[in-house]
């Protein structure tokens, strides 16, 4: 069975500081990893994904994430946080497997950027 | 605007009511999904449709009944719900079921009294 853990329910960061939102996963096989963001009263929006290749992937709004196979992690990062980055962030994993390719989401991390 | 539209955005219903949630996607996608979002829980996948055929039903109670009349429309029919069914119901679509890039609607906030 595949699973995703987001160990922090809440992360607070001062505006202009770097931010990290943590994600670890547990799968059998090679994972495809995703980050989604949910702004208040909105649905989820795709941010970025790791499929294969370079471990550092870049996505929307200046976000990036690093795939670390040995630590089974896929942390989301941004060098300089904006107040508008305040939202709920979800990590998700999928293992390509014919007939069973469900996307499994974490519980979400609420990111608050303090002006 | 994500290309996936859900109505109504808010719904309050009694336990004996019958109501429906509607989802429409304007992206030409072949797969559509219903998810349930409750506070501090992972998103729960409820149903998956691929080319109008249901391909996944995750042990969802029969009081939730999906309908996919065509690849652009998805409904979730609700009947004799329980208060614990109160949640945000999210519809999503994707080009196929072989991708993790889903496009979500803004959700329908359901309150069951």
pLDDT at A17: 97
pLDDT of residue B51: 85
Residue A9, chain B, CB below 8 Å: the answer is yes
Q: What is the pLDDT of residue B2?
A: 65
Q: Is the distance from CB of A97 to CB of A31 less than 8 angstroms?
A: no
Lowest average pLDDT, out of A44-53, A67-76, A99-108, goes to: A99-108
| Chain B partners within 8 Å of A6 (Cβ) | none
**Chain A residue numbers touching B55 (CB-CB < 8 A):** none
Among A41, A96, A101, beta carbon nearest to B106:
A41
Contacts of A98 in chain B (CB under 8 A): none
Residue A28: burial class (beta carbons within 10 Å; 0-12, 13-18, 19+) = exposed
| A39/A42 Cα distance (integer angstroms) | 5
The region, left, alpha or beta by phi > 0 then psi within -120 to 50, assigned to residue B16 is alpha
The nearest alpha carbon in chain B to A107 belongs to B42
Answer for the pair A92, A102: CB distance below 8 angstroms, yes or no: no
Q: Which of A98-112, B20-34, B57-71 has the lowest mean pLDDT?
A: A98-112
> What value does the mean pLDDT take over residues B31-50?
90
Q: Which of residues 65-104 of A touch B (CB under 8 A)?
A: 90, 92, 94, 96, 101-104
Question: B7-26: per-residue pLDDT in tens?
Answer: 999 999 988 889 999 999 99
pLDDT band with cut points at 50, 70 and 90 for residue B39:
confident
3-state SS of chain B: helix, strand, coil percent to 5? 5, 55, 40
Q: Is A60 on the interface with B (CB under 8 A)?
A: no
Residue B100 has pLDDT above 70, yes or no: yes
Angle at A39 between CA A100 and CA A62, to 5 degrees: 85
pLDDT exceeds cutoff 80 at A35: yes
Question: Is B100 in contact with A32 (Cβ distance < 8 A)?
Answer: yes
Q: Chain B residues with CB inside 8 Å of A45's CB?
A: 2, 104
């Amino acid at each position: 069975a595949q699973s995703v853990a987001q160990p922090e329910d809440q992360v607070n960061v001062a505006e202009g500081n770097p931010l990290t939102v943590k994600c670890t996963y547990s799968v059998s096989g090679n994972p495809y990893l995703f980050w989604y963001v949910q702004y208040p009263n909105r649905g989820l929006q795709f941010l970025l994904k790791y499929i294969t290749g370079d471990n550092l992937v870049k996505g929307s709004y200046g976000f990036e994430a690093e795939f670390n196979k040995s630590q089974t992690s896929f942390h989301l990062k941004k060098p300089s946080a904006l107040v508008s980055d305040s939202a709920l962030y979800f990590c998700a994993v999928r293992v390509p497997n014919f007939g069973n390719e469900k996307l499994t989401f974490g519980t979400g991390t609420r990111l608050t950027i303090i002006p | 605007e994500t290309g996936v539209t859900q109505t109504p955005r808010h719904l309050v219903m009694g336990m004996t009511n019958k109501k429906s949630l509607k989802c429409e996607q304007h992206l030409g996608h072949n797969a559509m999904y219903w998810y349930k979002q409750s506070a501090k829980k992972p998103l729960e996948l409820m149903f998956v449709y691929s080319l109008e055929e249901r391909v996944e039903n995750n042990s969802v109670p029969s009081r939730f009944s999906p309908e996919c009349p065509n690849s652009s429309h998805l409904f979730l029919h609700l009947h004799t719900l329980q208060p614990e069914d109160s949640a945000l119901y999210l519809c999503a679509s994707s080009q196929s079921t072989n991708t993790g890039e889903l496009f979500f609607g803004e959700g329908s906030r359901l309150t069951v009294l």
